[in-house]
């Protein structure tokens, strides 16, 4: 059975005290208001991983926003999967479009990071998405297919079954533009069909596929009611406890 997941990506926001304060609010609200069995994950900057993993308990899981593809050693400024795992974090975002674009992360590098995460028992949330040009010129199915093929489809079936995919159209991230529920459903169904072609029906049916891109309490309900949308990766709205927990709540309504 695939899981329903709401994951927040704090990006490079919130100093130590601000992070603890927002996270404590989120944990309390989730405790009070969550109905149903969604998994809630927050992916803060590295400085927060350990303290928030302790505060989150069973209610809210913690993920990193990135890891190195290397095991350890002379890689100044990097953080390893083993280090992230040792904080109590259980998830890691891999291939966010901001890392692909600003840090030139290739599909091959992302495949190596994914393998490294799995070696250390971190659950990857693997992001794919097309630019506005690729959407407008109609090449987006090919673009997404290539990201899946090179980033993920060399995994064994057992490893692939630990992956969550986030479809994040780049033109919708932080822009206030959202894919329509129909556009998002169309792509989620396409992603699931590509998984089925590679790993079979059961694996495809069990894979959680999240939508990300200007998701908010107003549009969440319609997006999440699509049959192939299993939750969301939330950027801006995860920095406001009310908006983030409202998104969790509408998931159930």
The interface region with ligand PEP, picked from 82-90, 102-110, 220-228, 231-239 by CB under 6 A, is 231-239
Task: Considering the complex, state which of residue 89 and residue 204 has its C-beta at the smaller distance from ligand PEP.
Answer: 89
**Residue 150 among the catalytic residues:** no
Element spanning 30, H or E: helix 16-33
| 164-193 positions binding ligand PEP, by CB under 6 A | 168, 173-174
Half-sphere CA count of 42, side-chain side, radius 13 A? 37
Residue from 110, 192, 236, 241 that binds ligand PEP (CB under 6 A)?
236
Query: Based on the number of CB atoms within 10 Å of its own CB, is 142 exposed (0-12), middle (13-18) or buried (19 or more)?
Result: exposed
* Catalytic-labelled residue, pool 96, 98, 130, 134: 96
Q: Is 9 in the site for ligand PEP (CB under 6 A)?
A: yes
The interface region with ligand PEP, picked from 32-40, 141-149, 212-220, 242-250 by CB under 6 A, is 212-220
Q: Is 152 in the site for ligand PEP (CB under 6 A)?
A: no
Non-local CB neighbours of 45 within 8 Å, separated by 6+ positions? 10, 11, 12, 13, 14, 19, 65
b/e burial code for range 115-126 (CB count within 10 A of at least 16 → b): ebbbebebbbbb
Q: How far apart are the first and last CA of the chain?
A: 20
Task: Considering the complex, state which of residue 135 and residue 199 has its C-beta at the smaller distance from ligand PEP.
Answer: 135
* Catalytic-labelled residue, pool 90, 130, 168, 194: 168
**Residue 168 among the catalytic residues:** yes
The conformation of residue 200, written as its DSSP 8-state character, comes to: -
Task: Considering the complex, state which of residue 148 and residue 204 has its C-beta at the smaller distance from ligand PEP.
Answer: 148
**Looking at the annotation, which residues are catalytic?**
96, 168
């Amino acid at each position: 059975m695939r899981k329903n997941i709401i994951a927040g990506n704090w990006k490079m926001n919130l100093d130590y005290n601000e992070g603890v304060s927002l996270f404590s609010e989120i944990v309390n609200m989730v405790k009070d208001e969550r109905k149903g069995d969604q998994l809630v994950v927050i992916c803060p900057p590295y400085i927060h991983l350990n303290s928030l993993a302790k505060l989150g308990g069973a209610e809210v899981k913690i993920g990193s926003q990135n890891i190195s593809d290397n095991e350890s050693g002379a890689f100044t400024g990097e953080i390893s999967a083993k280090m992230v795992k040792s904080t109590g974090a259980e998830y890691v975002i891999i291939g966010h479009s901001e890392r692909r674009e600003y840090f030139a992360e290739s599909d091959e590098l992302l495949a190596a990071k994914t393998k490294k995460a799995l070696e250390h028992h971190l659950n990857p949330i693997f992001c794919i998405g097309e630019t506005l040009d690729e959407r407008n010129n109609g090449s987006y199915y090919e673009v997404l297919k290539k990201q899946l093929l090179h980033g993920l489809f060399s995994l064994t079936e057992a490893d692939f079954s630990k992956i969550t995919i986030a479809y994040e159209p780049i033109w919708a991230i932080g822009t206030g533009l959202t894919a329509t529920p129909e556009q998002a459903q169309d792509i989620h169904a396409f992603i699931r069909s590509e998984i089925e072609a590679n790993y079979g029906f059961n694996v495809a049916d069990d894979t959680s596929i999240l939508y990300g891109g200007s998701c908010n309490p107003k549009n969440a309900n319609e997006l999440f009611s699509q049959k192939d949308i299993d939750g969301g990766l939330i950027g801006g709205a995860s920095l406001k406890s009310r908006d983030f927990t409202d998104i969790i709540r509408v998931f159930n309504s």
